[in-house]
Amino acid sequence: MENLINSTSSGDGGDGGSAVHIFMFPFLAFGHIIPFVQLSRKLLSAGTDVRITFLSAAGNVPRITTLLPTSPFFSVAPLNLPAVPGLPSGAESTNAVSADGAELLKVALDLTKPQVADLLGSHRPDIVVTDFATPWLPALAASFGIKTLPFSVFSAINMAYLTVPARRPSGCPAPTIDDLMKPPTGFPAASPLRSIPRYQAADFSYLFKSFYGRPSVFDSAAEVNGASDAMVVKTCAEMEGPYVEYLEAQYGKPVLLVGPIVPDEPPSGGGGGEELEPRWAEWLGRFAPGSVVFCSFGSETFLADSAVEELLFGLEAAGSPFLVVLNFPKGGGGGQKTPIPEGFEERVRGRGVVHTGGWVQQQLLLRHPSVGCFVCHAGLSSVLEAIVAGPQLVMLPQKGDQFLNAKLFAAEMGVGFEVERRPEDGWFGRDAVCAAIKAAMEAAAPAASQQSRVGESHRKWREFLLDEQVQGKFTVEFIDKLRQLCGK
């Protein structure tokens, strides 16, 4: 396993050198890999105090290397993913598999333990930053005298509500849906989150289910967090202070904050940088500044056909020009057949576009001056991208951490609007979509944004996230804590 890519040396992280050598080892999902990449970029940007080796399945390496800068302080160690019955040949990330396949990827990741042990032994990093899916890693790293830090790709409010020991005390059965509707014991009293709807609690029950003889997500995360030397969360006290304090109290160890990882500004201009595709630039250019609604739910969040209909009818009723990006799960719903209502495209022709052709340049679209509102699934990265870019937010969460992200940003931080839904099953209608969009567009209007609570909150948090001095301080302080942890 000495086949390192972009490396200038064979590894000497534990030799007493001044640089902190970190192994990054995320789960095999790009929704996890990308935040680890963003953290790596943030640490590498601080200078030569950090050296990073990134571990992932070999098939993911080409994409990872394109996302990180060429640097003598960065390398990738490809892992050969063992075959697992039922896992498609060549599948090395969740992008290529079903939900069941994602569970089998965890089994395959467990089987890389001997390769990881060889890498730890030969490279002796100071720290391993890992994910929830490797409960065996803290003990393995400790056998080499290496510190382990689990890095949560989720917000602190999600961890505090779902994966603390108080959620499932030792020896107790898995919580019921009724249990999950209420916060765990000791949850911050200052939080406005006093309960969640039944449909969200039902979705969270997945965290307590075991597949293929492996620990559940809750048990795996609890084991990694409990056995680690500290925990890492991509947040700050200004955004989630009470939840961070609760995590520290629950686990009895430090929670190191890297700050909110603000997406890098996409390169643009005439120097070879990326520019918005001409078809989108031309279409958006027809409309006044701040008048267009852009809607996207990411590459791994999918709406049911009935939900697509309500979404589209709500956009139509709102009356603003709109661009909607729809994706469909592999093996169903995609291709030429889409759940677009008959006659819809003819009615909105000239002011509405439904794109079903895959990936779009989300950051560049968000930064276009004509875009005034972003309707999204409340994925953490997407929300931060929108706040930094400027459009007002409408959140329509569909699963998992998205539900609590929407509560954090809309109800607690006052940024954006959440579409109202039926509490028992999560159904939403076109009227609710229309109302949320109209409220956001009103907040986006220059005159209104000076007076509206949401407009003012959005502006405040945008300035905070774009403050280079503040963000740089988060990075410097985090690296200082890493150095203290490993005695450098």
Q: Where are the alpha helices (DSSP H) in 288-357?
A: 305-318, 344-348
Angle at 306 between CA 305 and CA 311, to 5 degrees: 95
Q: Is 49 a catalytic residue?
A: no
Helix (H, G, I), strand (E, B) or coil at 78: strand
> Given 21, 126, 131, 203, which residue is catalytic?
131
Angle at 45 between CA 39 and CA 49, to 5 degrees: 95
Q: Is 368 a catalytic residue?
A: no
Phi-psi region of 310 (alpha: psi -120 to 50; beta: other; left: phi over 0): alpha
> 176: Cβ–Cβ under 8 A, 6 or more apart, which residues?
none
Cβ atoms of residues 331 and 324 within 8 Å: no
Q: How far is it, in rounded angstroms, from Cα 401 to Cα 389?
A: 22
Q: How far is it, in rounded angstroms, from Cα 79 to Cα 3?
A: 9
> Given 32, 123, 368, 458, which residue is catalytic?
32
Beta strands in 127-193 (DSSP E): 127-130, 147-152
- 3-state SS track over 358-419: CCCCHHHHHCCCCEEEEEECCCHHHHHHHHHHCCEEEECCCCCHHHHHHHHHHHHCCCCEEC
Cβ atoms of residues 234 and 244 within 8 Å: no
Q: How far is it, in rounded angstroms, from Cα 437 to Cα 485?
A: 47
Lookup: tokens for 217: 């997500």
Q: How far is it, in rounded angstroms, from Cα 367 to Cα 372?
A: 9
Name which of 152, 89, 97, 143 is nearest 121 in CA terms.
143
φ and ψ at residue 453, rounded to 5 degrees: -60, -45
The residues annotated with a catalytic role in the active site are 32, 131
